[in-house]
Homo-oligomer: A and B are copies of this chain.
Amino acid sequence: MKRIQCHEPCTCLERAFAVCPEWAGLEAAELERLVQSVSCIRYDLGEVIYHEGAECQGVYFVIKGLIGVRKADPGGDDTLLWLAGSGDTLAYRALLAGERHRDSAEVLKPVTVCHIPSPVMMRMIRSNARLGVGFLQRAARELGRTEERLHETITLTARCRLAHLLLLFSGDLDLEEGDPSPVIELPISRSHLASLLGVRRESLSRLIRGLEEDGIAQFNGRHVRLLHARALLDEYRLESGASM
């Protein structure tokens, strides 16, 4: 963890905020003021940005890097709840709910974040209705996604969830039109992937082998060739009824 300078006449922060829907509600003047009361921090791989159970000190706007949001389970293990990257704002939940952190944030790829202290954040939210509405929308969307995921883990098999996750990682890649067997790169290790899916590492291995044996995908370290994108889509759609 290292505080870095990014205040002065550099406009990178301003630009970063400007493209994020929840922050877009800020006027130029407010934005400039915000940038003054903010600190940019670098964290190295493995460092923890905040800990489960700790008081919330403010929110973190992610400039770049990859962060795993995890939650300890009783067994001493922990579950990866989700990944955060550029443009995401972390810890707003605890701040707005007025609660302690319910999860911790660990760096998976070296990260630069912009830390906004709680009082600054709360003052802005209260005074600028547009910012408030922005975060309201963000929270509502995330709530929807989380419910969807809860529903998915209850109703779908692990294999199907893996298929879905691969589709998510393939992002805006056009599976119907573009390269018929594109290669995507997994941003995380097998163990993390398993944790994200809510299965054991061993089970994930077997699921992967299953997909390979069915000629749906080829795994090679973190590189995955989607051999039969169509089939992958079906894998998810058939069980989930989604139309994607």
Residues of A that sit less than 8 Å from B by CB: 71-75, 79, 81, 92-99, 102-103, 125-127, 129, 132-133, 135-137, 139-144, 146-151, 153-155, 198, 238-241
Contact = CB atoms under 8 A, between A and B. Distances in A.
A135 B129 CA distance: 12
B140 A97 contact: yes
A101 to B, nearest CB: 10
A175 to B, nearest CB: 20
A33 to B, nearest CB: 18
Q: Which of A75, A79, A146 has most B Cβ within 10 Å? A: A146
Contact of A99 (B72, B102, B144, B240): B144
B154 A153 contact: yes
5 contacts: A71-B147, A74-B239, A94-B144, A99-B141, A132-B136
B144 A133 contact: no
Contacts of A240: 74
Contact of A143 (B73, B93, B98): B93
Q: Which of A148, A150, A198 has most B Cβ within 10 Å? A: A150
A81 to B, nearest CB: 6
Contacts of A136: 96, 125, 132, 135-136, 139
A234 to B, nearest CB: 12
Nearest to A103: B147
A117 B154 CA distance: 33
A237 to B, nearest CB: 9
Given A140-B92, A146-B143, A148-B102, A155 B73 contact: yes
A142 B198 CA distance: 21
Contacts of A72: 241
Q: Which of A99, A136, A149 has most B Cβ within 10 Å? A: A136
Q: Which of A79, A135, A154 has most B Cβ within 10 Å? A: A154
A154 B98 contact: no
Given A137-B96, A150-B146, A155 B79 contact: yes
Contacts of A74: 155, 238-241
Nearest to A237: B74
Nearest to A102: B144
Nearest to A81: B147
Contact of A241 (B73, B93, B135, B146): B73
Contacts of A141: 97, 99
